[in-house]
Chains A and B, each alone.
Chain A
Amino acid sequence: MPDIKVTPLGAGQDVGRSCILVSIGGKNIMLDCGMHMGYNDDRRFPDFSYVTQNGRLTEFLDCVIISHFHLDHCGALPYMSEMVGYDGPIYMTHPTKAICPILLEDFRKITVDKKGETNFFTSQMIKDCMKKVVPLNLHQTVQVDEELEIKAYYAGHVLGAAMFQIKVGSESVVYTGDYNMTPDRHLGAAWIDKCRPDILISESTYATTIRDSKRCRERDFLKKVHETVERGGKVLIPVFALGRAQELCILLETFWERMNLKAPIYFSTGLTEKANHYYKLFITWTNQKIRKTFVQRNMFEFKHIKAFDRSYADNPGPMVVFATPGMLHAGQSLQIFKKWAGNEKNMLIMPGYCVQGTVGHKILNGQKKLEMEGRATLDVKLQVEYMSFSAHADAKGIMQLIRMAEPRNMLLVHGEAKKMEFLKDKIEQEFSISCYMPANGETTTVVTNPSVPVDISLNLLKREMALGGPLPDAKRPRTMHGTLIMKDNSLRLVSPEQALKELGLSEHQLRFTCRVQLHDPHSDTDTLGRIYTHLKSVLKSYSIQHVPDGTVIVESIVIKVTSSAEEPNLKVILLSWSYQVNKHVMN
């Protein structure tokens, strides 16, 4: 039976990274290649031995697809391609291709330079890995090879995030990566057409969450900034060069304008050039509605936000500063932090995840005393706020996506099956589809029922129509007679005669025979004559011939009468008929 196999790589219950193997129509695809941020040893990498114990990755995999730039989806990519070894194509969207290497390099620096680890990829490996990347656009069908095609759909979530459809023949799988179904100011909601994939693969954690609105998260951000500035404090917001920073700037700019606030807001210079690059990527990527709004302003002609100079950090009075890097592990943001940490009127807002080993990570874990270079300790007295702005789908969103795509089966990764029974029931009942929940390292096999498209010759179609009966209907299949010719990559249904002609064969006819014995005192000829007369009277609507050579022919049935010399009254009636004969006649 044709089937599709899905295996989430990884062990036990860990949910910290995404790396899924799919086998479809004889092709093997790896979906995402994430790093597990909670481990310091090799457990942070996906377990490729599942594949490599039987051969090399390059031979096994037809392609690798990366859904977006978050490290738990792409963090292990250079390790896989350069240290384990993979030379095939790696597909991702243009923004992901632009942003990934920057994050990977930052991550590498922290892990190797700050923590002194050795079993890790190098800068050169990141560059070599990115050379294997083939970027793609939304809704563009890409032929990986003659049989495998992929297509990216808008996922929302972060810039460049995509959901992917993988198709071989008429079997397909859709992988969602991370996505969101409620649009926000900057990113629209995920969208996909009714592509009816055999399997829709998504995260189970979404289905058990009900998310607080983006508006409320933004409100909290504005409230905390405002409170700090009102009491004369300084707010430090460490950000990555590309990503959240631009969103938060726009939010603050509009708030400052509306509330007529005077405190200065600064944006460190390192961010400005990268920000313009980001802006260009963003504009071509987002949908019409959002693009229109951004075109109204040049992102970096803010009234209230100015370029930062490091001497400003010593200025008295309230201010807000956006500075890189995002995890406070080095550079300007760390410098500013050291100056401001000792004052409880000040505030540090962390808008994202911090990797272990960074100052950011330590502070978010509640550490109040930090060891700095030269054995100096820093007392952390300022207020710390950890905020998450990531747009993710939730219980309602996952149902909406299923309604949009109409998959035949649902597969949820990173969940414990026994704790997901309600969800499984809910999906199965609402959509009448099966819901699978493989554990990490477990393979799920989903049997598919692919339809095979075949061309039919006009003659054959006409002949079938002439036989009468109901008209052909997609919902009511009808059996028919024909010959299937498979040549090169085409499949055709033609009439048997046509097929014989094309093949240059002549038709063989099968005739069946049977002998019936009966007692009759008449001569053979007379017996035959009596049979003829009888048949003529009972089979009025059929053509019956009495041929002089001693046979009676009814349609294609031939009747002969013989007898042996020893027993002249024992007549043997030989009946012979060809394969296709009207059954009424036989009765």
Chain B
Amino acid sequence: MDISSDESDDWFIESLNTYKDLHVFQLEHPTKVIEWTGDKNICVAGYTGSRSEILELLLPLKLYAGENQGLCAERDFKVQHGGFSEEPIESLIHISGTRCVVTSGSSSSTLQIWDIGGDDSDVIKRTGVINLKSTSVKGCKIAPGLTDEPAVLHGSCISEVQLTEIATGRVLYTVAKESSDSVSGLQFVNACVFLICASDGTLFMGDTRDPSTCHYPLEDSKSGLHWAFGLRSDSSQSEPSGCTVARLSSSGHMLLSDLRNLQSPFCQTQLNVQHDASKNDFLNVSWAPVLDRCLSVSGKKCSSPQPVFSHRGHEMSDEAKYSGSPPVVTTHSWHQSRPKTILSVATDGSLHVWDWVDKITDR
């Protein structure tokens, strides 16, 4: 069979020059979450059925073979642990240093706590719940605490954000802000300082040692937009000054702010994106952990300014060819140590692991 001059084949042939490594997988069920649970492990979870699977996967060993990459033929993911959730999973976080993950779903008013399991069993078991004040269709937003005692920061609207200790269910901190704005994302900067980004782009910064929370609304806030945020902290994680916050709106407006001055962003730009009010679910912006000042955006088609790289693999898959509408990337995650490796997943269940060629530096 000749490789036909069909678009997806073209893309594959072009990929010989544009990607260093490219791996394409098909999960049984699509996921909205990719969470690292170890150097070589990630967790994914279903969101399309009433009963969803949570899987812990081992990345293909070829990615870790270093100089001996040629001698390693192992290109597949291995399912190491699996479990069942009674609801579609919207968010999943891993508590560093433990085998514990916390999930939030779209149909219950609890957060679920799970033990991913060790060598002796492959079952992910639920070990407890945290009761929430309300149910949210988008799922409650969650973030791991960075203290020694495992805790989770959670909330679907600003006034409900609290820090709960996992082992005891004790509420360690509550945000004292009367605001019914919905939470788009939240994250700890260090053991005590955390940031919340509301859906309308307002930033809130709090400190668990201090009951008050500061808020930083946008100077020029347009209604109807949804904002996503990504936090970059330097490796030492203790100084807020090393942190940059990126915010991206569903209309493509990008703001970069320094934690020392959240009121005024130090950089702004406008990305030319398809503005579709109904499709903001998967808007995602992240900072590269290794590369300097490099941001990635997924969930929206962006035509300008010219990105360093654009991964079109999900549109070009065989499955996408036969379905009516192209798949949308639900989320993506940077590899923790390999500078240019990204994992991305889409609504059709595809999971890609890729490493692009930087035409300038990789010659």
Which A residues are within 8 Å of any B CB, using their own CB? 182, 185-186, 207-213, 215-217, 219, 222-223, 226, 250, 254-255, 258-259, 290, 293-294, 364-366, 383-388, 394-396, 399, 418-423, 425-426, 429
A396 to chain B, nearest CB (A): 4
Is A210's CB under 8 angstroms from B27's CB? yes
Question: What would be 16 A-B contacts, judged by CB atoms less than 8 Å apart?
Answer: A182-B26, A210-B57, A211-B76, A213-B25, A215-B318, A219-B16, A222-B16, A258-B3, A386-B72, A386-B73, A388-B73, A395-B79, A396-B27, A421-B122, A422-B81, A422-B83
The residue in B16, B60, B351 that gathers the most chain A C-beta atoms within 10 A of its C-beta is B16
Chain B interfacial residues counted at CB < 8 A: 39
B51 to chain A, nearest CB (A): 8
Within 8 Å of chain A (Cβ to Cβ): is B1? yes
- For the A-B complex with A186-B1, A216-B22, A219-B12 known, give 4 more contacts whose Cβ atoms are closer than 8 Å: A212-B25, A366-B71, A383-B70, A429-B84
**Cα–Cα distance between A423 and B343 once the two chains are bound (Å):** 25
Is B124's CB under 8 angstroms from A422's CB? yes
**Quick one: CB contact mask for B1-20 with A, threshold 8 Å, 1 for yes?**
11100000000110110000
**Cα–Cα distance between A394 and B79 once the two chains are bound (Å):** 10
Known A213-B24, A254-B3: A219·B82 in contact at CB below 8 Å? no
Is B16's CB under 8 angstroms from A223's CB? yes
Is B3's CB under 8 angstroms from A255's CB? yes
Is A258's CB under 8 angstroms from B81's CB? no
> Which residues of chain A are near B22, meaning CB under 8 Å?
216, 219
The residue in B24, B53, B70, B71 that gathers the most chain A C-beta atoms within 10 A of its C-beta is B70
Is B76's CB under 8 angstroms from A394's CB? yes
B67 to chain A, nearest CB (A): 10
**Cα–Cα distance between A364 and B72 once the two chains are bound (Å):** 9
**Cα–Cα distance between A365 and B25 once the two chains are bound (Å):** 27
> Which residues of chain B are near A364, meaning CB under 8 Å?
71
> Which residues of chain A are near B60, meaning CB under 8 Å?
212
Closest 5 CB pairs of A and B: A422-B82, A212-B75, A210-B77, A213-B24, A388-B73
Within 8 Å of chain A (Cβ to Cβ): is B219? no
Is A210's CB under 8 angstroms from B16's CB? no
Closest to A222 in B: B16
Known A366-B71, A395-B79: A211·B16 in contact at CB below 8 Å? no
> Which residues of chain A are near B15, meaning CB under 8 Å?
219
Known A384-B71, A396-B27: A226·B16 in contact at CB below 8 Å? yes
Is B76's CB under 8 angstroms from A210's CB? yes
Within 8 Å of chain A (Cβ to Cβ): is B178? no
**Cα–Cα distance between A512 and B68 once the two chains are bound (Å):** 92
Is B82's CB under 8 angstroms from A212's CB? no
Is A250's CB under 8 angstroms from B1's CB? yes
**Cα–Cα distance between A345 and B102 once the two chains are bound (Å):** 50
Within 8 Å of chain A (Cβ to Cβ): is B40? no
Closest to A384 in B: B70
The residue in B1, B28, B53 that gathers the most chain A C-beta atoms within 10 A of its C-beta is B1
> Which residues of chain B are near A387, meaning CB under 8 Å?
73
The residue in A258, A388, A395 that gathers the most chain B C-beta atoms within 10 A of its C-beta is A395
> Which residues of chain B are near A383, meaning CB under 8 Å?
70
Is B75's CB under 8 angstroms from A208's CB? no
**Cα–Cα distance between A223 and B121 once the two chains are bound (Å):** 40
The one of B68, B79, B318 in contact with A208, judged by C-beta atoms closer than 8 angstroms, is B79
B27 to chain A, nearest CB (A): 7
**Cα–Cα distance between A429 and B81 once the two chains are bound (Å):** 17
**Quick one: CB contact mask for B288-317 with A, threshold 8 Å, 1 for yes?**
000000000000000000000000000000
Closest to A223 in B: B16
> Which residues of chain B are near A388, meaning CB under 8 Å?
73, 75
Is B25's CB under 8 angstroms from A210's CB? yes
Within 8 Å of chain A (Cβ to Cβ): is B148? no
> Which residues of chain B are near A254, meaning CB under 8 Å?
2-3
Closest to B81 in A: A422
The one of A211, A386, A418 in contact with B25, judged by C-beta atoms closer than 8 angstroms, is A211
B20 to chain A, nearest CB (A): 9
Within 8 Å of chain A (Cβ to Cβ): is B149? no
Known A223-B16, A394-B76: A185·B1 in contact at CB below 8 Å? yes
**Cα–Cα distance between A255 and B13 once the two chains are bound (Å):** 8
Within 8 Å of chain A (Cβ to Cβ): is B220? no
Closest to A250 in B: B1
**Quick one: CB contact mask for B162-202 with A, threshold 8 Å, 1 for yes?**
00000000000000000000000000000000000000000
